[in-house]
């Protein structure tokens, strides 16, 4: 039964002859019987006409060196339910189709294949074509993996079906993947287990296609706004998450290959970022108004990266294209530029940019510095201009920017700096930077005298203690109580990075650590009448927000960072951190000795039992407890 006239073959087993969305698909929670224990899918025997619970969907083109790994990853799966494997070869010329046909003939009841003789991708609208093929799959769930990637865990499908069976509100699930080379064990996303929502997808894509299992009912056609895009997966997840969230498992269960033949990975990074910015600007035209700030945040993130690239490489054409995209988005350009300014001014890398053009890092290094800059609070435009001026006109950057022939025009076009006052502020900041440089040189000379260095350090310490005491007293005037034994530590800027609501209390022996990588805006915020119990530890790497009337019991541990541990050759203490914001809602009760890990959101009115470890987000008005914390019941 041919899919089109130029197709060489359509190989499918007899049970798969009728593929109808109405009659051929496994019903939700499938009527198909289950095995008592997982069995390799190559050893399973099901009655003729059994409908699969999972359809594996694989597209491939010239993957002769990779396709066996992909297929073997499918065949090693052990499940309690039937699985079918669909492979579409898009007219490969290197022998890929022959390998696919070999496996299909060996396992005729598992495979059905479409082997093209004419490439469909090159005909245009590939996303619509392959979406049509996805709709023909019969499984209740669709698991995706392209022919140059492969799965590494035999329990992958079983785990994902269990998750989607238990959590009906999810539209799909995904997981961490390895990348680069199999020996390095480098993770692609470095995030903790938890939900990925529609708001998340408007800012960044942490869903690897090779890791996805999605409900067939969540597959709906893409908006015409996405037509002509090179990206197909990200818009698909944006569309799907309008119905519900994805669950992200932080255990790697697949391997993502980066190779020269990859359609996406072979693109220059600036082209990738331009494609992403184009897609996010188009997405802004179809989303609900309540996701406006999330959309602006995502657009600004990639626009800031491209703007930085333009400045560092003196490449006006990249800026011109990026600028045209944001002008066609649903949002006012001034809103996007304000968010972009917030990102740039919080990028510590800018202050230390090297002067030698040949030593400038690639744009990805700049982008990585921006990952933690997504908490974009609204600011006074004048204040934003002043702070941005301070950042951009630091001495190290000034030498590069001032020599760019188009720099002044670029600033005028990108930030609308028509006011003379802004330019004067920028020059003033530059002069201050020059004075600071001279002052720093003078201090180095003075510090060569031991007694001078000792006196200077003593004066600095006394000044810090005096300022801290003044700050504590100023909080008491606002009815904010901090016990005298509370310790503030770390390398971040303390006083200006905390926001305390009226009548909040931080009890005795609480330690607040502020990372030097913390956001330059509010890093820790406590709501009205919030309470932090004695002996607790608050570790601020990414922002931590604790809502009104929330009580945190004694000896709790709330930290928005975790150690990286991807290499056995480097001590864990030297591998750095990865982090994610923590948001704790209003009127939450957290029992004693609770640990809250990075990336967790706890909804309003939730209750967390004593001794729990919270490693996933918790909905509002639910009671959770245990290690790790699990759902106990709905609260009254």
Q: Are 175 and 62 in contact (CB under 8 A)?
A: no
Inform me whether the pLDDT recorded for 124 exceeds 80: no
Angle at 567 between CA 565 and CA 571, to 5 degrees: 70
Inform me whether the pLDDT recorded for 206 exceeds 90: yes
The secondary structure of residue 178, as a DSSP letter, is E
- Which of the residues 63, 358, 563, 593 is marked catalytic? 563
Distance CA(273)–CA(267), nearest Å, equals 10
Count, in order, helices (H) and strands (E) of the chain.
Answer: 17, 36
Inform me whether the pLDDT recorded for 388 exceeds 70: no
Predicted pLDDT at 145: 95
Predicted pLDDT at 364: 37
Q: What is the mean pLDDT of the chain?
A: 76
Name 589's bridge partners.
Answer: 551, 607
pLDDT tens, 575-584? 777 788 899 9
More confident site: 478 or 131: 131
Distance CA(226)–CA(238), nearest Å, equals 11
Which of 10, 147, 143, 183 lies closest to 68, judged by CA? Answer: 147
The secondary structure of 459-512 as a DSSP string is HHHHHHHHHHHHHHHHHHHTT-EE-TT-EEEESS--GGGEEE-TT-EE-TT-EE
- pLDDT category at 6 given cuts 50, 70, 90 is very low
Tokens 């990805």 belong to residue: 364
Distance CA(375)–CA(543), nearest Å, equals 8
Find the mean pLDDT for residues 586-605. Answer: 93
Q: Are 574 and 563 in contact (CB under 8 A)?
A: no
Q: Are 179 and 281 in contact (CB under 8 A)?
A: no
The H or E element containing residue 452 is: helix 450-477
Domains of the chain: 7-255 (3.90.550.10), 269-431 (no CATH), 479-634 (2.160.10.10)
495: Cβ contacts below 8 Å, ≥ 6 apart: 467, 468, 471
Tokens 């019903």 belong to residue: 27
Rg of the chain over all Cα atoms, to the nearest angstrom: 28
Distance CA(23)–CA(613), nearest Å, equals 45
Find the mean pLDDT for residues 489-515. Answer: 78
- pLDDT category at 518 given cuts 50, 70, 90 is low
Inform me whether the pLDDT recorded for 398 exceeds 50: no
Predicted pLDDT at 485: 79
Distance CA(523)–CA(530), nearest Å, equals 16
pLDDT tens, 48-82? 889 999 999 999 999 999 999 999 999 999 999 99
In the annotation, is 563 catalytic? yes
Predicted pLDDT at 390: 47
Where is average pLDDT lowest: 126-140, 408-422, 527-541? Answer: 408-422
Find the mean pLDDT for residues 155-170. Answer: 96
Predicted pLDDT at 523: 78
Name 141's bridge partners.
Answer: 54, 215
Find the mean pLDDT for residues 135-149. Answer: 92
**Through-space distance between the first and last CA atoms of the chain, rounded to whole angstroms:** 57
Predicted pLDDT at 26: 53
Distance CA(145)–CA(318), nearest Å, equals 32
């Amino acid at each position: 039964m041919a899919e089109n006239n130029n197709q060489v073959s359509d190989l499918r087993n007899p049970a798969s002859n009728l593929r109808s969305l109405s009659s051929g698909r496994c019903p939700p929670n499938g009527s198909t019987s289950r095995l008592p224990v997982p069995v390799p899918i190559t050893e399973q025997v099901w009655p003729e006409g059994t409908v699969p619970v999972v359809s594996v969907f694989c597209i491939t083109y010239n993957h002769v060196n990779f396709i066996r790994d992909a297929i073997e990853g499918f065949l090693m799966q052990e499940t309690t339910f039937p699985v079918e494997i669909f492979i579409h070869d898009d007219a490969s010329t290197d022998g890929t189709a022959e390998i696919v046909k070999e496996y299909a003939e060996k396992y005729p009841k598992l495979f059905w294949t479409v082997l093209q003789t004419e490439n469909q991708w090159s005909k245009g609208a590939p996303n619509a074509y392959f979406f049509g093929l996805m709709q023909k799959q019969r499984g209740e769930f669709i698991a995706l993996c392209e022919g140059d990637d492969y799965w590494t865990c035999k329990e992958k499908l079983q785990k994902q079906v269990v998750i989607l069976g238990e959590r009906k509100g999810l539209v799909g699930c995904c997981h961490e993947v390895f990348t680069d080379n199999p020996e390095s064990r480098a993770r692609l996303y470095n995030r903790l287990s938890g939900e990925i929502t529609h708001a998340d997808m408007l800012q960044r894509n942490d869903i690897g296609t090779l890791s996805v299992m999605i409900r067939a009912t969540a597959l709906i056609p893409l908006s015409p706004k996405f037509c002509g895009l090179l990206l197909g997966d990200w818009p698909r997840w944006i569309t799907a998450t309008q119905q519900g969230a994805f669950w992200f498992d932080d255990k790697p269960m697949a391997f993502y290959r980066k190779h020269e033949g990859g359609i996406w990975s072979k693109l220059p990074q600036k082209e990738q970022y331009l494609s992403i910015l184009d897609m996010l600007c188009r997405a802004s035209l179809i989303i609900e108004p309540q996701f406006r700030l999330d959309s602006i945040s995502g657009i600004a993130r990639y626009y800031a990266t491209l703007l930085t690239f333009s400045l560092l490489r003196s490449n006006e054409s990249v800026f011109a294209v990026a600028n045209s995209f944001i002008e066609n988005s649903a949002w006012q350009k001034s809103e996007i530029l304000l968010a972009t300014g917030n990102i740039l001014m919080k990028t510590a890398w800018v202050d230390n940019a090297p002067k030698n053009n040949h030593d400038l890092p690639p744009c990805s290094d700049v982008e990585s510095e921006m990952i933690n800059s997504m908490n974009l609070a609204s600011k006074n435009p004048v204040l934003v201009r002043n702070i941005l001026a301070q950042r951009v006109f630091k001495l190290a950057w000034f030498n590069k920017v001032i020599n760019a022939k188009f720099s002044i025009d670029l600033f005028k076009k990108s930030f609308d700096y028509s006011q003379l006052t802004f330019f004067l502020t920028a020059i003033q900041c530059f002069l201050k930077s020059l004075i600071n440089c001279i002052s720093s040189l003078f201090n180095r000379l003075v510090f060569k005298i031991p007694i001078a260095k000792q006196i200077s350090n003593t004066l600095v310490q006394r000044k810090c203690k005096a300022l801290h005491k003044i700050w504590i007293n100023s909080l008491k005037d606002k009815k904010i109580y901090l016990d005298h034994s509370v310790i503030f530590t770390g390398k971040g800027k303390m006083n200006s990075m905390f926001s305390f609501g009226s009548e909040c209390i931080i009890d005795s022996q609480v330690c607040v650590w502020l990372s030097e990588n913390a956001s330059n805006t509010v890093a820790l915020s406590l709501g009205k009448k919030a309470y932090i119990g004695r002996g607790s530890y608050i570790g601020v790497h990414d922002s931590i927000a604790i809502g009104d009337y929330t009580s945190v019991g004694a000896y709790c541990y709330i930290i928005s960072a975790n150690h990286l541990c991807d290499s056995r050759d480097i001590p864990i203490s030297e591998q750095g951190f990865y982090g994610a914001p923590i948001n704790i809602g209003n009127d939450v009760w957290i029992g004693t000795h609770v640990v809250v890990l990075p990336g967790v959101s706890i909804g309003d009115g939730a209750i967390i039992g004593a001794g729990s470890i919270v490693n996933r987000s918790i909905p509002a008005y639910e009671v959770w407890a245990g290690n790790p914390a699990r759902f106990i019941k709905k609260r009254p």
